[in-house]
Amino acid sequence: MNLRETLDRISRNLSWAWTPEAYDLFRALSPDLFHHLRNNPHAILRRVPDALLDRTWGTESGCAHVANVDARLDRYLRSPDTWTARNAPELQGGCIAYFCAEFGLHESLPLYSGGLGVLAGDHIKTASDLALPLVAIGLHYPEGYFRQTIDHAGSQREAYPPTRWEDIPADRLMDGDEPLLIAVPLGEHVVHVSIWSLEVGRVRLLLLDTDVPQNSDADRHLGGRLYSGDAITRIRQEIILGIGGYRALAALGIEPTIVHLNEGHCAFANLERLRVLRNSGSSWDDALAHVRATSLFTTHTPVPAGHDRFSPAVTAHHLSGWPQRLGVPLSTLMGLGRVHPEDEAEWFCMTVLGMRTSAQINGVSQLHGAVTREMWSSLWPTRAVDEVPVGHVTNGIHVETFLHPRMRHVIEEVDPGDWRADLLDEAAWKRRIDRISDEALLELRRELKRDLIRDLVRRFRAQGDIHGVLDLYDDQLNDWTGDTLTIGFARRFATYKRASMLFHDEERARALLTSLDRPVQFVFAGKAHPKDDEGKGVIRRILEIARDPSFHGRVLFVENYDMELARSLVSGVDVWLNTPRRPREASGTSGQKVTLHGALNASILDGWWVEGFDGTNGFAIGDETSPTSAEEQDQRDVEALYRTFDEEILPAYYGGGRAGAGHTWRAMMRASLSTLPARFSSHRMLRDYVHTYYAPMMRKGRAT
């Protein structure tokens, strides 16, 4: 066996991101270098000499282990006995094209900004696990999303270090000796786009790149960064993603049976689909009917301002030539993106375009589906709100990506059967969890909290100890029992998420956090959009509290939130706090990840938590009533938050003897772990997509 060739083969498929046996092959080469390279197997393999490979894995047993990992990957990729073959054979031979503007696959590949991207990454990982015939399309983003630092004034600073694409196991697709290029019209000129291919298990992810010599300097930098630039940059990126993405599929000989548009950013794909059908001789009505019948549009945004809109002039300029390509008047084309098609002053909305060209539409939780029906009911003026054709599939998480290795060991130890299959059988999952003893669960929680505190100390040292708390944590690490109640709050710092709500009444917050009998520690992390000054102000507010001597060591902000930090936080905290202004949280998935580790959610009844909370498996902040104003809602929720801590969370955690080990807390941890992970896994999510949308649409698409 050629050791380097075998390791290279393993490193070139991103399935290592959720396969600990593969991941650990590369970490063992040099843990410090591996971490420095953002835990990237392909990157470390490019740097280490053969001598180190031989010392680490060159023994007889080491070579056998590497060969075994390689063989397992091969079986995973090639086995004909798959969930899809057994449960959805009608999908075989078809193709689902999944478009999204961002994909969160691993921290070494910064093609994501937050929940949408991580959800898309989980979607295609699970499509791989279930062997769905799916190909994904996104943008290349040479500089990706920004790296966050916090200055001494508590202000967020953004940097865009370029991704070293030679370290990413992606290949630029070639046409002979030259890169394969596709042409995408941007108004009156054409931009040339190359295609990168990345293997994510069984799924192929295609990334579109404008940085080629055939383009002008401005066009070469069009796709440089995720969610940056003005409206002109945004519409051009979205044309490249949608129209260019569908043309990329055609260039590779891929004919999707159905198209899944994940958010409005990629809705221009359906214009290209219409053009192809019109060129083949279909009438406008027939082409639109076929595209609608074979398109699924998923919206994640219950906030009106979150939907991309472009002025009539900007849209008409960038779509010049398209009325001729489609054989329809400009007014018909523009009407596809307007709530009121005849209103020439109305801005063009990408969500409306997605909805008008898709017969199947879904929100991402039960509540979000209802909110979406009401928000967009004017698109169906003759229907009652509850008859608006918008369904829902509640988001879930890719369990293997976020499950801590220690928790995985505990789950596997109690039952030799395949625990992954239990993710599609809630009763089987509960039976497995019931076999875990209280002692094993409590010891696991102590170990995970110790891991988290060590990671926080390492990060504070690396970022310059912006809180001045290293001395405190060094003391705690020397004799740390894990007794302090630890609360996590980490997500995008949009103002509606109300990250600083706990400090609305600073004196009450101080009394809550610094109690000698029942102390509480908060860990915050998250990024504000570079143009969101209000969100940046919330970060500054958190830093002011963290640096206040009276809160010393009780409030921490960890900079540069990414998937690595997310895995650390969701495994180590005791409670995950979520305080959105209801009903603006479409789903939320970060809280689903803590349930994998026996931690609890304390959340406003919004998004997924409305479906997950049952009174025994976490805490509800407030109720489902609708206040008359945002001010009243904020005041009521603040009071409910303090009351939930005083009357429920603290008594449960500190009651019954040892902190976090009393009967009530143990019962709630077990309820969280047994009732939520399977129900809110991405395996369940993809099963719902298959049975509700993909399979029926595949049958209809083949019939038309």
pLDDT in tens, 557-599: 999 999 999 999 999 999 999 999 999 999 999 999 999 999 9
Q: What is the pLDDT of residue 628?
A: 81
SS3 619: strand
Residue 241 pLDDT level (bands cut at 50, 70, 90) = very high
- Lowest mean pLDDT, pick from 360-374, 467-481, 552-566, 569-583: 467-481
Q: How far is CA 500 from the centre of its chain?
A: 23
Say if residues 400 and 412 touch (Cβ distance below 8 Å): no
Q: What is the pLDDT of residue 1?
A: 67
Res. 214: pLDDT tops 80? yes
Res. 627: pLDDT tops 80? no
Beta bridge partners of 397: 681
Q: What is the pLDDT of residue 475?
A: 54
Say if residues 107 and 564 touch (Cβ distance below 8 Å): yes
> What CA–CA distance (Å, rounded) separates 454 from 470?
11
Residue 450 corresponds to which tokens in the numbers above? 């110790």
Q: Which residues, other chains included, contact 398 with Cβ-Cβ below 8 Å and sequence gap of 6+?
A: 18, 121, 122, 125, 126, 681, 682
* 349 phi and psi angles, rounded to 5 deg: -110, 125
Residue where the block lists tokens 């990706």: 144
Q: What is the pLDDT of residue 473?
A: 61
Say if residues 485 and 650 touch (Cβ distance below 8 Å): yes
**For a pLDDT cut of 90, what percent of the chain falls above it?**
87
SS3 127: helix
Say if residues 171 and 194 touch (Cβ distance below 8 Å): no
DSSP E strands in 491-565: the ranges are: 520-525, 555-558
CA distances in angstroms from 83 to 80, 86, 683, listed in the order given = 9, 5, 10
DSSP E strands in 414-510: the ranges are: 485-490
Please provide the distance, in angstroms rounded to a whole number, between the alpha carbons at the two ends of the chain.
51
Strands 555-558 and 520-525: parallel
Res. 476: pLDDT tops 60? no
Res. 408: pLDDT tops 50? yes
**For a pLDDT cut of 70, what percent of the chain falls above it?**
97
Q: What is the pLDDT of residue 480?
A: 45
Q: What is the pLDDT of residue 472?
A: 62
Mean pLDDT of 143-151: 93
CA angle 315, 316, 319 (to 5 degrees): 85
Residue where the block lists tokens 């696991």: 444
Average pLDDT, the chain: 94
Res. 138: pLDDT tops 80? yes
Residue 461 pLDDT level (bands cut at 50, 70, 90) = confident
Contacts 24+ apart (CB under 8 A), 145-149: 145/102, 145/110, 145/111, 145/112, 145/113, 145/225, 145/226, 145/227, 146/225, 146/228, 146/527, 146/530, 147/110, 147/560, 148/527, 148/559, 148/560, 148/561, 149/463, 149/559, 149/560
Q: What is the pLDDT of residue 483?
A: 86
Res. 492: pLDDT tops 50? yes
| Burial class of residue 498 (count of CB atoms within 10 Å of its CB; 0-12, 13-18, 19+) | buried
Mean pLDDT of 610-630: 92
DSSP E strands in 228-368: the ranges are: 258-262, 295-298, 309-310, 348-349, 360-363
- Measured from the Cβ of residue 554, the count of other Cβ atoms closer than 10 Å reads 21
Cis? peptide before 583, omega within 30° of 0 = yes
Residue 333 corresponds to which tokens in the numbers above? 């084309």
Say if residues 497 and 576 touch (Cβ distance below 8 Å): no
pLDDT in tens, 275-330: 999 999 999 999 999 999 999 999 998 887 789 999 999 999 999 999 999 999 99
> Measuring CA to CA, which residue among 336, 398, 418 is closest to residue 596?
398
Q: What is the pLDDT of residue 477?
A: 46
Mean pLDDT of 27-47: 96
Res. 527: pLDDT tops 80? yes
Q: What is the pLDDT of residue 478?
A: 42
Q: What is the pLDDT of residue 464?
A: 73
> What CA–CA distance (Å, rounded) separates 446 from 658?
12
Res. 481: pLDDT tops 90? no
Longest dimension (CA), the chain: 77
Beta bridge partners of 157: 149
- Measured from the Cβ of residue 192, the count of other Cβ atoms closer than 10 Å reads 18
Strands 575-578 and 600-604: parallel
User: Alpha-carbon torsion 569, 571, 577, 582, what sign?
Assistant: positive
Residue 342 corresponds to which tokens in the numbers above? 């005849």
Q: What is the pLDDT of residue 552?
A: 82
> What CA–CA distance (Å, rounded) separates 59 from 584?
56
Residue 479 pLDDT level (bands cut at 50, 70, 90) = very low
> What CA–CA distance (Å, rounded) separates 490 from 560?
11
SS3 224: coil
Task: Indicate the pTM of the whole model.
Answer: 0.96
